[in-house]
Structure 1
């Protein structure tokens, strides 16, 4: 009884994949392929293939014909191109192999990333209930409607220049040590009382009423702090582009003392 030896061939994704395998196996330079040797080895593999799958075999046969054509052209005298250089019959094949090798490498990188991604676990959100329910005390877009830091800064600098013009050029050169009695918390209380009594006042006139540069800076910071807390708002004055109206909130009008205590405590704390 005659025994049959079954040989399992390595599977390749296409003829270019087989050619790259043969080049690596023979350790030859891809830019200088020994076409006769590689063609013989390629044909050995094609002859051993299962001929039932015609779609797969046809691709390998086309490449086999290409290799045989290149092999025959290598035996003929070299042709010259328009620039007078000898043409290499293997050039087109080399370019296809390099392009295929690049895409194969990229596919391998993407596969590795996919495998790495499968090992990642994502932690679900665990936001505390108090944080999830938090809402800003004021709507900043509504609060700053028509108000820009540039315009506020322009008013502040204009008033500051008026303060500097009041300085006596002679007396200002005298040395003097004194403690500035101004705090943001105290100025907040002052603004709260003014806003609650008058309901609205001129932002520019309020700054001009400050007695010194330090008090002016403290007053400006106090107004910004109250705006952030939603206790006062600034809106444009009708027909006056260089000034704003400082208005008290309804909560401030109703309970100024409690609000003043809370705001100053948060500032001092």
Structure 2
């Protein structure tokens, strides 16, 4: 589902907005991420195809925008501390993009005519894992809350001094330490001692990565309640 954005600094497809920001033709600080999330949810409410694939496409672009804006808001001396995390997350997003392109190529091959008599075997596309109890709307709501919180705390984030940067791998190890013991852990517990908005975002992305690897499953009582993480 193509996402159309209409904000003060830009009007057009979300993918084009990301391209302009990456090419430094549009300052990320002029882009309201919370408004983009609102417009996406409004468009999502008027379409029938609310598949996890469509949501994942939006999350890939939204996560890139969120990282770019976080770097733009942090003081210059702290940006070097985040470089390793940003590089790691960028590689993960590129892997997701490559997976989407490969899946499209497979669909095109299956849909096209057979040109050879020799039997051919193509491996079936990998099934997309949808955690039990989690919907596209609940994930979108969680991302929206993160974006709104970042916008409200922009001034505090600029003045904040990070004593230590938490990496995605460290957060993944922390979550695994709970689930290996057979203990469920809540998302709020994981971020209750967070010292920055960056750590909150890293925790969210670490949870998504473990869901992608099918190591954990998550559930919510309702759209705005705490997220409970447990071993699969």
Q: What interval of TM-score do these two structures reach, taking the shorter chain for normalisation?
A: 0.3 to 0.5
Q: Could you state the TM-score of these two structures normalised by the residue count of structure 1?
A: 0.34
Q: Could you state the TM-score of these two structures normalised by the residue count of structure 2?
A: 0.39
User: Rg larger in 1 or in 2?
Assistant: 1
